[in-house]
Amino acid sequence: MANKNMFLWWGSGSAPCWRPMIVLAEKGLWENLPNKQISFSNKEHKGEEILKLNPRGQVPTFKDGNVVVNESGAVCMYLEEKYSDDSNRLFPTKADERAEVYQRMFETTNVQSNISEKLVYYLFRTKKEDIDEKILKEKTDNAREELNRWNTILGDKDYLCGSKFTMADVFFYPILAFLVRCGTKLTNQPALKKYYDRVSERPSVQATWPPHWKESEGQGQLKEL
């Protein structure tokens, strides 16, 4: 088994962890992968086992034999280079087509900053009575604009870069799923909603679905988005 020398430490619901998990599943390496789901509340990511491989004390933390890679994007790229075959490549072979995949992969940082960091964390971290309605409206409008942009990018395509699932989807989908978990229904972004439903059914996504999401509902912070 190609994965017997691998080990992945991961946390449930973490978009950075979910990305390499999806890649592993796409390559048939997730099943029976030596792994440990860590508990954030027990601070297991700050334990010695992880710190000696990843001094930042974060997940994902990943090793494959003597190769240690921890940044989620780096793990994805490593797995892609080492374990792809024609049946499971996540990049097109032509540079011109790859350019679009790179563009969307790196463009996902805008979703992270414009929606997760500016709006979701504001709602998570501010006491209800301290929420400033004007600031909240600005943040919500900005987040909606970001979602609309991705709705336009998708248009009538099945996946972000066309008819094939690519690394761009691996980078983007876990953040989108987090936003849906936080309550957004994507009512005003129909292309994004169809995309969300399509990718959610994908076997690699189903196999790696965050365990605690199966057990409880999200808190609905983004139901007004």
Ligand X SMILES: N[C@@H](CCC(=O)N[C@@H](CS)C(=O)NCC(=O)O)C(=O)O
Token pair for 128 = 């209800």
Number of other residues whose CB lies within 10 A of the CB of residue 139: 19
Comparing CB distances to ligand X, the nearer of 108 and 184 is 108
43 alpha carbon, distance to own chain's centre? 21
Q: Which residue in 44, 49, 71, 107 binds ligand X (CB under 6 A)? A: 71
CB burial of residue 194 (10 Å; 0-12, 13-18, 19+):
middle
The verdict on 203 binding ligand X (CB under 6 A) reads no
The verdict on 174 binding ligand X (CB under 6 A) reads no
Comparing CB distances to ligand X, the nearer of 109 and 148 is 109
List all residues 6 or more positions away from 174 whose beta carbon is below 8 Å from its beta carbon: 15, 18, 19, 22
* Of 88, 116, 124, 95, nearest in space to 178 by CA: 116
The verdict on 49 binding ligand X (CB under 6 A) reads no
Comparing CB distances to ligand X, the nearer of 57 and 211 is 57
Indicate left, alpha or beta for 131 from its phi (over 0: left) and psi (-120 to 50: alpha). beta
The verdict on 47 binding ligand X (CB under 6 A) reads no
The verdict on 208 binding ligand X (CB under 6 A) reads no
Q: Which stretch binds ligand X (CB under 6 A): 52-60, 111-119, 147-155, 188-196?
A: 52-60
The verdict on 72 binding ligand X (CB under 6 A) reads yes
The verdict on 60 binding ligand X (CB under 6 A) reads yes
The verdict on 11 binding ligand X (CB under 6 A) reads yes
The verdict on 16 binding ligand X (CB under 6 A) reads yes
DSSP 129: G
State the residues that interact with ligand X by CB under 6 A.
11, 14, 16, 45, 57-60, 71-72
